[in-house]
Amino acid sequence: MSYYARNLPHWQPEGASIFLTWCLHGSHGAIRRRERLEASKPFAEIDRQLDEARIGPVWLKNPAVAECVEQALYFGEQKLQLYSLTAHCIMPNHVHAVVLPKVPLARLTKPIKGFTARTANEILGRTGERFWQDESYDRWIRGGQELHKIIAYVEKNPVMAGLVATIDEWPWSSASARSRHRQECSC
């Protein structure tokens, strides 16, 4: 099992899927200023507050930016072969992904976040500004039952946030991609 730490601990058991979340720069700071979040808050509570997105950046609401991030996730899987992508959801201010890593976790998000930051800043007309928070949250998944639970959590995130009524309505998620694929195959 590999391990490294920055502000958060990062564990990567060999052969285990990982639940990743990363946020736009400034989104955590906005939450801390508003509610004085402490590091001990459970992930679900922090995620719920990110879903509300009442303050802080929401650049991922821009369809071109969200599409860029989704395509980068697929590129990381198919071309860079960094991981197998099991599920994903791009919310207005954060991204969830469930992956089976093929490289050390420390190298997994850097190319995806770097490329999307440059491209998104171009789309938004921003130059030289930070786009993503430096560090990502990750949790290694401890078995099949937990994997199914986390996939459901990721794909239901837009519904729970009140953005759509059903999981396949949110355009930037694995649930929507599956729905599109089924529609294409049934013709």
**CA quadruple 99, 102, 106, 108: dihedral positive or negative?**
negative
pLDDT at 31: 43
Indicate whether 3 belongs to any domain. Answer: no
Indicate whether 170 belongs to any domain. Answer: yes
What confidence category does residue 108 fall into, taking pLDDT thresholds of 50, 70 and 90? confident
Indicate whether 51 belongs to any domain. Answer: yes
Indicate whether 1 belongs to any domain. Answer: no
Domain total of the chain: 1
CATH of the domain at 143: 3.30.70.1290
Indicate whether 135 belongs to any domain. Answer: yes
Structure tokens at 113: 């976040």
- Mean local confidence (pLDDT), 154-175: 95
Indicate whether 19 belongs to any domain. Answer: yes
Indicate whether 7 belongs to any domain. Answer: no
Q: What confidence tens digit (pLDDT) does each residue in 30-61 have?
A: 444 334 444 445 556 656 666 665 668 999 99
Instruction: Indicate the pTM of the whole model.
Output: 0.82
Indicate whether 154 belongs to any domain. Answer: yes
